[in-house]
Amino acid sequence: MFGVMTAGLGMMLFGVAGVAVSGVCVVRGLLVIAGLMVLGGFAVMLGGMFVVFGSLVMMMLDACVVAHILLSRSVG
């Protein structure tokens, strides 16, 4: 009877050790996923900044074109 209990206890400890090792792998996998999510969010933010600055450049160019047209009408 005690042999069965100690064998069961030993198997339980091996199972707990296996869960601990696999738990580390799960945590590492979650950290990798979180890191990829951060990099993806950074890429999206960078793309948004390019869109904003591109729009700003286009607005400045449009303002220059409008000013040039208005100044050329008033001179001519």
Q: Tell me the pLDDT band of 38, cut-offs 50, 70 and 90.
A: very high
Kindly report whether the global pTM for this prediction surpasses the value 0.85: no
Cα separation, 61 vs 67, whole angstroms: 10
Interval 40-62: pLDDT, tens:
999 999 999 999 999 999 999 99
